[in-house]
């Protein structure tokens, strides 16, 4: 990664691995100065620049052998951040791609991810990767499953609190599924993350995230979002880590394929 800056125009130019060049607008000089002093360009970029500024893609230089750019379709900013953090060490560049992909609903997390990846591939006409989250509140027998977005529209934090009244098992499992599809082959990576449904809402945002504290943390997901921690899962613990290792191997075994 290399960086340039125009202080008069407040434009930050970043060249990524593989030769991709982006310009980020309205970047204050102090942000650029902090960027230049950072111990890791990548870490600072993902934490303080990525997803925070308007940008324009200028193009790309000739790609270097072994580099790979992949489209992550219609993901939330925290998912993009997690994917980039996990894949960067393997020389895999992840670019966001906004497409009108339907929210597939089913009772199986892997089925949802595969259908979404195939749909995205048809629209993008290039290899794609998607990530889905499937929630299971054990005391509610698998609720809300794949309906996380809908729950945010249908129920309030008070509604969820009432649903959990009298429940002794307050375990929550989030299944995160990464699915890759290139028109011929598909590959799925899954990881379960466990947490606890608290007794009171903390933070702002999605009502379920106001209650759930993931194992290893002392704040709810809503509080972590508010404190600018865009992802709570370490890259090495996420399904993206296994995906990145697999894709790098595929690129070596089938160069240009």
pLDDT tens figures, 26-56: 999 999 999 988 877 767 876 788 778 888 8
Average pLDDT, integer, range 97-104: 74
pTM (2 decimals)?
0.72
> Which residue ranges form the domains of the chain, and what is each CATH number?
1-64 (no CATH), 65-252 (3.90.950.10)
Residues 210-234 have a mean pLDDT of 79
Q: What is the pLDDT averaged over residues 66-90?
A: 79
Per-residue pLDDT tens digits for 163-213: 999 999 999 999 999 999 999 899 999 999 999 999 999 999 899 999 999
Specify the higher pLDDT residue, 62 or 230.
230
Report the share of the chain in percent with pLDDT over 70. Answer: 87
- Pick 96 or 219 by higher pLDDT: 219
Confidence of residue 63 (pLDDT cuts 50, 70, 90): very low
Which pLDDT score is estimated for 28?
93
Please write down the long-range contacts of 215-221, taking CB distance under 8 Å and 24 or more positions apart: 221/195
pLDDT above 80 (res 105): no
Beta-carbon count within 10 A of 142 CB:
12
- pLDDT, residue 230, reads 53
Mean pLDDT for all residues in the chain:
85
pLDDT at 244: 92
The reported pLDDT for the residue numbered 67 is 43
Peptide bond into 144 cis (omega under 30): yes
Per-residue DSSP letter, 199: S
Three-state secondary structure along 54-78? CEEEEEECCCCCCCEEEEEECCCHH
Greater model confidence, 190 or 238: 190
Query: DSSP states of 83-112 as a string?
Result: HHHHHGGGTEEEEEE---------S-HHHH
């Amino acid at each position: 990664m290399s960086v340039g800056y125009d202080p008069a125009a407040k434009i930050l130019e970043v060249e990524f691995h593989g030769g991709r060049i982006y310009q980020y607008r309205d970047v204050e000089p102090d942000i650029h100065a902090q960027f230049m002093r950072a111990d890791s360009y990548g870490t600072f970029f993902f934490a303080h620049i990525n997803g925070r500024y308007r940008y324009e893609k200028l193009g790309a230089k000739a790609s270097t052998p072994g580099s790979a750019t992949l489209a992550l379709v219609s993901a939330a900013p925290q998912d993009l951040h997690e994917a980039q953090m996990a894949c960067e060490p393997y020389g895999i560049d992840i670019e966001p791609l906004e497409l009108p992909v339907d929210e597939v609903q089913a009772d199986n997390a892997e089925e949802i991810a595969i259908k979404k990846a195939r749909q995205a591939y048809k629209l993008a006409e290039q290899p794609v990767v998607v990530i889905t989250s499937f929630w299971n509140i054990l005391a509610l027998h698998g609720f809300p499953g794949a309906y996380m977005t809908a729950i945010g529209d249908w129920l309030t934090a008070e509604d969820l609190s009432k649903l959990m009244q009298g429940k002794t098992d307050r375990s929550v499992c989030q299944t995160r599924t990464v699915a890759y599809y290139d028109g011929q082959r598909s590959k799925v990576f899954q990881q379960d993350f466990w947490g606890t449904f608290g007794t009171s809402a903390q933070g702002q945002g999605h009502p379920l995230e106001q209650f759930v504290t993931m194992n290893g943390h002392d704040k709810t997901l809503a509080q972590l979002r508010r404190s600018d921690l865009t992802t709570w899962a370490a890259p090495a613990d996420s399904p993206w880590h296994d995906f990145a290792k697999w894709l790098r191997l595929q690129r070596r075994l089938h160069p240009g394929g």
